[in-house]
């Protein structure tokens, strides 16, 4: 490892523009003639649209146009798609209702878009939107998935009887029932995984530009995957042909899943730019973000875990109801199925697992992948149940986990996944040592003397990143392949551009991807540029989500680098009249091993472009592309320990320490990886302690639609984190890396709730553990 | 935000004149509540009269036992005032915990009390301190000034110019912030006055805004200690209940915060 | 319409805008200084923090007209002569940013905080002082580290600035 190569703590290249205010986000874009949009949204959670009158609004100052869903239909703009087909256990396909980008007849959640108003200024567009008169006939509302499944509940879509989208299962139900029947002990729990609002700090935005002269469209948008956006905008939404559409996702201010999807607003702004003849920009405000960005989680589950007389798990049965909101978002069906139930084996050797999942429509914001996507839900069930079982069995939580750890690899679970590598005990040992687990009882006694209740909890998580291989996910219903592309261009002066289909919205790709190149060719980081986020520059890519950019995106770069290296060595061997097999690349030079002969990297590059002296049959230039399709998921795993103090008078929880010991395989830039863990853990703590999403059950109004009511983690809610890494390299990809983006959000909620329930002596506690809830749980425990 | 007209007042007289020219005019002090409300189109004043440039409405003076705080004095100035810290430390502590540093740079005591948000901090402080609110027309006792949630004794166009407080012998403030908004979910200000009387005012909890708790006042008047509050009951019937805190939980917080405010008062 | 004149990052600027125009809109749209961001509607996230007459304020909670005649410093005005401000440098060194969206407000708040506390900061104080700045990426860990490091490096210099 050099100072800038793989494994080095390199400060980020992209930071310069961000710390000086020179980042360029979608809302910063200005194009000539640009106008501003405001969406008219449903104030009702469920209603029929009886009439729309825009006559007064159209006369308002600055108004360019007001467009509706019928006009969208006239132009054959398609329904919003769900990209993953799931079949119910009876073999029937999922019951999907139509989602129009602008509602025509019925609105199904507060915030459902009905009209777009385009005007000279944002304020004028909003003024005009308020002058629109829409006559609604209100319909009955249901916001809880459990309630929505009941007979007589309000019906959202004619396609989905009792609002059920599918009733899916995985695993062997009879075998699990038999294990439970013959168990020495069974732990049973009812567990709620609370709905979350992603809240990247940059609100979504879109700028659609139609160029009549070229009959060409450009969309600037806040996207984690601009190529997927281009694909669906052309293939499914019929807004523009793929070859006439450029999608640019410039600097993007966080995503966490919520910017994967192609929402109504992006479709409509692009379409409206042609309809109105002006460039149309829309920027969400925060309340709109609460009302329209896809939410996360929202599961209600019952679990039964069976143990034999030696405390070995013999079976795990899960029944889950998942709320998918008013419409099926792009990957909504995959989250509570293949991204969820396939992780129910946790880090443990469990011979029998069965999960049944019912997904449900409700009058709420659509639910889709949010940091972790299914894996936090699975981990929460497994790790809350393990901790509870240890308490019931009267053995230490660590001991119960050790008894059941998977220790031989590869390990085939009963729920599809085949774990390729891991050392779960190493992470457990590391975190217990870092947390001084042994000293906890003394700390607890000291806290008690101050009137505080101290508790400790752990969580041993495993997750799956880099969804793959494409053929396998295709067979499970995915509508896309999940490979990644890369192109490495060595310029004539030796500088290098790497074009990637991954997208960076905070992950630091401009640095880590460049480190990979610096390591390989011994060139300076400054001579390497990473190009991403523009479909005119990068041909195709699948984007960044599911912690896939390292394991999949960088592997594609490695494949392209392999090809470049091969050609560079051939050329250098020719230039130095040496054998190709003797060429080594070191410190920016191509050398003949064992001699003092060398060619500087830039000279070799120049030779490739002057092409005056090439090997027989070699094409000029030095540019190679690659597509990489992984052979398996990767399996990051680790152990988190949380220690808390609860103030019994107020129920307020203070996190005293949070220890994360993760095994991400090999690491390119430890500083960036630690940052990912910090952020993930903070979001997990947010879910467990702070972030509650509340709907009014009668009206379907979102009661937590701003930071006045939705508790975002702030600096004084969190401690500094104690982060360390263990390393069992991933055998499945050339870099041996597993992915680190979501682990923190996956592993932390059960650790925190296990700690609080330990402190208060009441295991019945629902996330988020607000002061009021903890206070009430304490009162009922007494 | 709806369209509005901005005016900058140079004196109290100028401000009142501008404000009374039109029924839909509002005074703009620090703007830390009014502007967010306008941004959400929940308020639509036709005109705004900016008070930040009226010199006579700014600053803190202490004369004998009386502290006078100009209505346009930002929270940060009250929080950082050595005079306030020494004469009335509970009030400095209160001011230091309103909003966040940026809000404290802009928000003013006059703006806060004229708005009388049921979760604002100052109303509890001024009521417990038995403050006098000085307007362009008259002086009003805090008990009479705060008339209910978002409601005060101010008449149309009447402008708060200063607040006057007689330094108490002891005072303290304890707040339990709403985890999301950081406004007071319950805040209790306790003041022991020179005549031996005790006033306890509660914000964030009452369903009609700031209120005094007589039971606690009596208990503390005879024994100014946290333990004296143990036997006092807080009735939850008139307390707010929302997604963050039930009235029963707020009743508990009122008592716990009162004990902590007494402890802070020393 | 309001005619607004102010000094922004040491440069005199003036412009015409509706009276309802927020300072942040004036900075972003009239002046084209897009480093100052808007992340919420309720004056809580702090992505819009700038300095007005030497104090950190939320530019989304101030009218441009209110700032008429004021001296404004935005994130673009912090570095001088190509030299990063110590707080900017510390944010980079300690990886105190990821997506970069909250960063301008975070840095402007940190500069104000360090100046007010004369460089004398501890972790608890930094966390409390960051109440008005929300970050979704970093978990604040490295932001706190960066602020503490910058405070210690600015040390006495910050104290002088505060006095």
What pLDDT, on the 0 to 100 scale, is given for residue A782?
77
What pLDDT, on the 0 to 100 scale, is given for residue A244?
97
Q: To the nearest 5 percent, what fractions of chain A are helix, strand and coil?
A: 30, 25, 45
Q: pLDDT digits over A103-148, tens only?
A: 999 999 999 999 999 999 999 999 999 999 999 999 999 999 999 9
Residue of chain A whose Cα is closest to the Cα of C134: A714
Residues of C in contact with B100 (CB under 8 A): 44, 46, 131-133
- The whole-angstrom separation of Cα A35 and Cα A156 is 35
What pLDDT, on the 0 to 100 scale, is given for residue B23?
85
Residue A241 has phi, psi (to 5 degrees) of -70, 150
Domain residue spans in chain B?
A: 5-50, 55-166, 170-265
Structural contact between residues B192 and B265, judged by C-beta atoms closer than 8 angstroms: yes
- The whole-angstrom separation of Cα B249 and Cα C5 is 51
- Give the pLDDT band (50/70/90) at residue A618: very high
CB contact under 8 A, A704 and B180: yes
- Give the pLDDT band (50/70/90) at residue C82: confident
What pLDDT, on the 0 to 100 scale, is given for residue A547?
86
DSSP A689: I
What pLDDT, on the 0 to 100 scale, is given for residue C120?
86
Structural contact between residues A107 and A44, judged by C-beta atoms closer than 8 angstroms: yes
| Domain spanning C2-77, CATH architecture | Roll (3.10)
ipTM: 0.97
Closest Cα in chain C, distance from residue B73 (Å): 14
Supply the DSSP string of C33-89, one letter for each residue.
-TTS----SSS-S-TTEEEETTEEEEGGGSBTGGGTT-EEE-GGGTSBTTBPPHHHH
Residue of chain C whose Cα is closest to the Cα of A26: C34
- Tell me which residue in A127, A711, A772 faces B245 most closely, judged by beta carbons: A772
What pLDDT, on the 0 to 100 scale, is given for residue A468?
79
Report residue A260 as tokens. Answer: 């994967």
Establish how many alpha carbons lie within 13 A of residue A155's alpha carbon, considering only the half-sphere containing its beta carbon.
Answer: 10
Structural contact between residues A113 and A204, judged by C-beta atoms closer than 8 angstroms: no
What pLDDT, on the 0 to 100 scale, is given for residue C160?
44
> What is the rounded radius of gyration, in angstroms, for the C-alpha atoms of chain B?
18
Neighbours of chain A (3+ CB pairs under 8 A): B, C
CATH of domain C86-162: 1.10.150.120
What pLDDT, on the 0 to 100 scale, is given for residue C77?
97
B/e letters for C68-106, b = 16+ CB within 10 Å, e = fewer, are bebebbbbbbbbeeeebbbbbbbbbbbbbbbbbbbbbbb
CB contact under 8 A, B31 and C61: yes
Structural contact between residues B145 and B153, judged by C-beta atoms closer than 8 angstroms: yes
What percentage of chain B reaches a pLDDT higher than 90? 98
- The whole-angstrom separation of Cα A705 and Cα A209 is 31
From B229, B246, B243, B239, select the one nearest B209 (Cα to Cα). Answer: B239
- Give the pLDDT band (50/70/90) at residue C156: low
Structural contact between residues B240 and B229, judged by C-beta atoms closer than 8 angstroms: no
- The whole-angstrom separation of Cα A586 and Cα A590 is 6
Cβ count within 10 A of residue B183 = 19
Cβ count within 10 A of residue A38 = 25
Q: At residue A33, does pLDDT exceed 70?
A: yes
CA A187 to chain centre: 31
Mean pLDDT across A754-769: 98
For A211, left (φ over 0), alpha (ψ -120 to 50), or beta? Answer: beta
CB contact under 8 A, C98 and A508: yes
Domain residue spans in chain A?
A: 31-139+201-254+259-292, 299-468+632-781, 483-628
What pLDDT, on the 0 to 100 scale, is given for residue C81?
85
Structural contact between residues B56 and B17, judged by C-beta atoms closer than 8 angstroms: no
From A558, A555, A775, A489, select the one nearest A653 (Cα to Cα). Answer: A775
- The whole-angstrom separation of Cα A80 and Cα A98 is 8
CB contact under 8 A, A770 and B179: yes
- Tell me which residue in B6, B100, B101 faces C19 most closely, judged by beta carbons: B6
| Domain spanning B55-166, CATH architecture | 2-Layer Sandwich (3.30)
- The whole-angstrom separation of Cα A112 and Cα A136 is 13
- The whole-angstrom separation of Cα C29 and Cα C110 is 25
CB contact under 8 A, C37 and A253: yes
Cβ count within 10 A of residue C62 = 28
> What is the rounded radius of gyration, in angstroms, for the C-alpha atoms of chain C?
15
Q: At residue A310, does pLDDT exceed 60?
A: yes
- The whole-angstrom separation of Cα A64 and Cα A70 is 18
Q: pLDDT digits over A363-393, tens only?
A: 999 999 999 999 999 999 999 999 999 999 9
- Tell me which residue in B39, B48, B101 faces C109 most closely, judged by beta carbons: B101
- Tell me which residue in A508, A679, A714 faces C130 most closely, judged by beta carbons: A714
- Tell me which residue in A671, A672, A682 faces C139 most closely, judged by beta carbons: A682
What pLDDT, on the 0 to 100 scale, is given for residue B46?
96
Give residue ranges of C with CB < 8 Å to any B CB.
2, 18-20, 22, 41-44, 46, 49, 55-58, 60-63, 65-66, 68, 109, 112-113, 116, 129, 131-133
What pLDDT, on the 0 to 100 scale, is given for residue A781?
85
Q: pLDDT digits over A653-704, tens only?
A: 999 999 999 999 999 999 999 999 999 999 999 999 999 999 999 999 999 9
Residue that the structure tokens 């000539």 belong to = A32
**Quick check: A678 contacting C, CB < 8 Å?**
yes
Same fold, A299-468+632-781 and A483-628: yes
> Is residue A621 classed exposed, middle or buried when 0-12, 13-18 and 19+ CB atoms within 10 A define those classes?
middle
What pLDDT, on the 0 to 100 scale, is given for residue C157?
60
**Average pLDDT along chain C:** 94
Residue of chain C whose Cα is closest to the Cα of B41: C41
Topology annotation, domain B5-50: 3.30.43
Mean pLDDT across A448-467: 96
Structural contact between residues B36 and C61, judged by C-beta atoms closer than 8 angstroms: yes
**Quick check: A713 contacting C, CB < 8 Å?**
yes
Which homologous superfamily is A31-139+201-254+259-292 in?
Aldehyde oxidase/xanthine dehydrogenase, a/b hammerhead (3.90.1170.50)
Q: Which CATH number fits domain B170-265: 3.30.390.50, 3.40.50.300, 3.50.50.60, 3.40.50.2000?
A: 3.30.390.50
CA B48 to chain centre: 22
Structural contact between residues C8 and C74, judged by C-beta atoms closer than 8 angstroms: yes
Which strands make up the sheet holding A106-107, listed edge to edge? A106-107, A47-53, A133-138
Closest Cα in chain B, distance from residue C43 (Å): 6
Q: pLDDT digits over A70-107, tens only?
A: 999 999 999 999 999 999 999 999 999 999 999 999 99
Q: pLDDT digits over B48-77, tens only?
A: 999 999 999 999 999 989 999 999 999 999
Q: At residue A347, does pLDDT exceed 70?
A: yes
Residue of chain C whose Cα is closest to the Cα of A23: C35
Q: At residue C162, does pLDDT exceed 70?
A: no
Sequence-ordered list of residues with C-beta below 8 angstroms from that of A174, at least 6 positions apart, any chain: none
Which one of B40, B180, B251 would you mutate to disrupt binding with A, by most A Cβ within 10 Å of its Cβ?
Answer: B180
What percentage of chain C reaches a pLDDT higher than 70? 95
- Tell me which residue in B176, B243, B253 faces A694 most closely, judged by beta carbons: B243
Residues of A in contact with C72 (CB under 8 A): none
Low-confidence ranges of chain B (pLDDT < 50): none
Which one of A679, A715, A718 would you mutate to disrupt binding with C, by most C Cβ within 10 Å of its Cβ?
Answer: A715
Which residues 153-192 of B have a C-beta within 8 angstroms of A?
176, 179-181
DSSP H or E run through A424: helix A424-434
| β-sheet bridge partners, residue A590 | A585, A599
Residues of B in contact with A776 (CB under 8 A): 249
What pLDDT, on the 0 to 100 scale, is given for residue C76?
98
- The whole-angstrom separation of Cα A572 and Cα A562 is 15
Sequence-ordered list of residues with C-beta below 8 angstroms from that of C34, at least 6 positions apart, any chain: A21, A24, A25, A27, A28, C28
Residue that the structure tokens 């509970």 belong to = B90
Report residue A770 as tokens. Answer: 């607000």
Closest Cα in chain A, distance from residue C32 (Å): 8
Residues of A in contact with C33 (CB under 8 A): 21
What pLDDT, on the 0 to 100 scale, is given for residue C155?
81
The domain defined by A483-628 carries CATH number 1.10.10.10: no
Topology annotation, domain A299-468+632-781: Aldehyde Oxidoreductase; domain 4 (3.30.365)
């Amino acid at each position: 490892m050099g100072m800038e190569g793989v494994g080095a703590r390199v400060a980020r290249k992209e930071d310069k523009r961000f710390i000086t205010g020179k980042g360029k986000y979608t809302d910063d874009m200005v194009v000539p003639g640009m106008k501003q949009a405001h969406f008219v949204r449903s104030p009702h959670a469920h209603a029929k649209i009886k009439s729309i009158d825009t006559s007064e609004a159209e006369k308002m100052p600055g108004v360019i146009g007001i467009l509706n869903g019928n006009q969208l239909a006239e132009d054959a703009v398609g329904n919003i798609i769900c990209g993953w087909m799931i079949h119910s256990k009876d073999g029937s396909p999922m019951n999907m209702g139509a989602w129009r980008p602008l509602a025509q007849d019925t609105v199904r959640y507060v915030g459902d878009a009905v009209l777009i108003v385009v005007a000279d200024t944002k304020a004028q567009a909003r003024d005009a939107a308020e002058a629109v008169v829409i006559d609604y006939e209100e319909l009955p509302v249901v916001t809880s998935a459990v309630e929505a499944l009941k007979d007589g509940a309000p019906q959202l879509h004619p396609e989905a009887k009792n609002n059920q989208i599918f009733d899916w299962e995985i695993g062997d139900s009879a075998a699990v029932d038999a294990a439970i029947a013959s168990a020495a002990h069974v732990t049973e729990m009812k567990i709620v995984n609370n709905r979350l609002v992603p809240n990247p700090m940059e609100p979504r935005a879109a700028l659609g530009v139609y160029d009549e002269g070229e009959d060409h469209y450009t969309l600037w948008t806040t996207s984690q995957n601009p190529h997927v956006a281009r694909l669906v905008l052309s293939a499914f939404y019929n807004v523009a042909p793929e070859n006439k559409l450029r999608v640019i996702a410039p600097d993007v201010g966080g995503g966490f899943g919520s910017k994967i999807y192609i929402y109504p607003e992006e479709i409509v702004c692009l379409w409206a730019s042609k309809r109105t003849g002006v460039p149309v920009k829309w920027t969400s405000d925060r309340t709109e973000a609460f009302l329209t960005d896809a939410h996360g989680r929202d599961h209600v589950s019952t679990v039964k875990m069976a143990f034999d007389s030696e405390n070995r798990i013999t079976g795990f049965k899960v029944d889950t109801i998942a709320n998918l909101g008013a419409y099926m978002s792009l990957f909504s069906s995959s989250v509570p199925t293949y991204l969820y139930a396939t992780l129910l084996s946790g880090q443990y050797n469990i011979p029998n697992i069965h999960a049944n999942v019912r997904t449900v429509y409700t009058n709420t914001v659509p639910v889709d992948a949010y940091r972790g996507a299914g894996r936090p839900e699975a981990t929460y069930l497994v790790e809350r149940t393990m901790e509870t079982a240890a308490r019931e069995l009267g053995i230490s939580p660590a001991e119960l986990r050790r008894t059941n750890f998977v220790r031989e690899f590869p390990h085939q679970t009963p729920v599809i996944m085949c774990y390729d590598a891991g050392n779960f005990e190493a992470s457990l040992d590391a975190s217990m040592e870092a947390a001084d687990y042994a000293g906890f009882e003394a700390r607890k006694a000291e806290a008690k003397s101050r009137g505080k209740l101290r508790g400790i909890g752990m969580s041993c998580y495993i997750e799956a990143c880099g969804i793959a291989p494409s053929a396998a996910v295709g067979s499970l219903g995915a509508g896309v392949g999940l490979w990644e592309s890369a192109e490495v261009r060595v310029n004539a002066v030796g500088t290098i551009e790497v074009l990637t289909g991954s997208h960076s919205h905070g992950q630091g790709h401009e640095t880590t991807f460049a480190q990979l190149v610096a390591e390989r060719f011994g060139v300076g980081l400054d001579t390497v540029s990473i190009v991403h986020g523009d479909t005119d520059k990068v041909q195709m890519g699948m984007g960044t989500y599911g912690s896939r950019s390292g394991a999949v995106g960088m592997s594609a770069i490695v494949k392209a680098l392999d090809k470049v290296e091969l050609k560079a060595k051939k050329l250098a061997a020719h230039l130095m009249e040496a054998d190709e097999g003797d060429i080594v690349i070191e410190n920016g030079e191509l050398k003949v091993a064992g001699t003092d002969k060398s060619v500087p990297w830039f000279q070799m590059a120049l030779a490739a472009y002057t092409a005056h002296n090439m090997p027989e049959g070699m094409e000029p230039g030095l540019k190679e592309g690659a597509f990489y399709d992984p052979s398996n998921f990767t399996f990051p795993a680790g152990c988190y320990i949380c220690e808390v103090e609860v103030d019994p008078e107020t129920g307020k929880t203070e996190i005293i320490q949070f220890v994360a010991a993760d095994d991400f395989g090999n690491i390119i830039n430890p500083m960036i990886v630690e940052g990912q863990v910090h952020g993930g853990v903070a979001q997990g703590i947010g879910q467990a302690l702070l972030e509650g999403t509340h709907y009014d059950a009668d009206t379907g109004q979102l009661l937590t639609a701003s930071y006045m009511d939705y508790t975002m983690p702030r600096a004084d809610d969190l401690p500094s984190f104690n982060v360390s890494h263990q390393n069992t390299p991933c055998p499945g990809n050339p870099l041996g890396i597993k992915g680190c983006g979501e682990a923190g959000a996956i592993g932390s909620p059960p650790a925190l709730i296990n700690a609080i329930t330990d402190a208060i002596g009441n295991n019945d506690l629902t996330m988020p553990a607000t002061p009021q809830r903890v206070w009430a749980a304490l009162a009922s425990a007494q | 935000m709806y369209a509005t007209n901005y005016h900058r007042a140079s004196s109290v007289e100028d401000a009142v004149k501008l404000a009374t020219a039109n029924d839909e005019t509002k005074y703009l002090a620090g703007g830390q509540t009014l502007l967010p409300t306008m941004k959400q189109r929940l308020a639509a004043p036709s005109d705004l009269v900016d008070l930040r440039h009226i010199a006579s409405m700014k600053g803190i003076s202490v004369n004998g036992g009386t502290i006078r705080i100009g209505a346009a004095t930002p929270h940060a100035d009250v929080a950082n005032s050595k005079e306030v810290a020494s004469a009335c430390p509970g009030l400095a502590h209160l001011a230091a915990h309103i909003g966040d540093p940026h809000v404290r740079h802009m928000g003013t005591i006059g703006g806060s009390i004229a708005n009388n948000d049921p979760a604002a901090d100052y109303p509890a402080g001024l009521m417990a301190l038995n403050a006098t609110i000085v307007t362009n027309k008259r002086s009003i006792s805090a008990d009479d000034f705060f008339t209910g949630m978002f409601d005060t004794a101010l008449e149309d166009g009447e402008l708060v110019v200063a607040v006057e407080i007689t330094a108490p012998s002891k005072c303290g403030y304890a707040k339990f912030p709403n985890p999301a908004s950081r406004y007071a979910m319950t805040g209790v200000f306790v003041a022991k006055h020179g005549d031996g009387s005790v006033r306890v005012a509660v914000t964030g909890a009452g369903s009609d805004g700031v209120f005094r708790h007589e039971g606690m006042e009596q208990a503390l008047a005879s024994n100014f200690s946290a333990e004296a509050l143990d036997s006092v009951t807080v009735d939850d019937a008139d307390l707010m209940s929302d997604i963050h805190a039930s009235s029963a939980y707020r009743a508990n917080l009122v008592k716990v915060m009162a004990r902590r405010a007494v402890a802070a008062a020393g | 319409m309001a005619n607004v004149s102010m000094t922004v990052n040491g440069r005199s600027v003036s412009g015409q805008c509706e009276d309802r125009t927020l300072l942040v809109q004036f900075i972003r749209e009239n002046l084209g200084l897009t480093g100052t961001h808007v992340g919420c509607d309720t004056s809580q996230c702090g992505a819009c923090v700038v300095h007005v007459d030497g104090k950190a304020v939320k530019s989304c909670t101030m009218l441009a007209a209110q700032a008429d005649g004021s001296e404004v410093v935005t994130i673009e005005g912090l570095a001088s002569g190509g030299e990063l401000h110590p707080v900017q440098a510390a944010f980079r060194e300690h990886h105190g940013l990821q997506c970069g969206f909250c960063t301008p407000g975070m840095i402007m708040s940190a500069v104000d905080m360090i100046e007010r506390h004369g460089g004398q900061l501890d972790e608890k104080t930094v966390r409390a002082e960051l109440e008005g700045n929300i970050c979704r990426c970093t978990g604040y860990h490295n932001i706190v580290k960066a602020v503490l490091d910058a405070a210690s490096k600015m040390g006495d210099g910050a104290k002088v600035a505060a006095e």
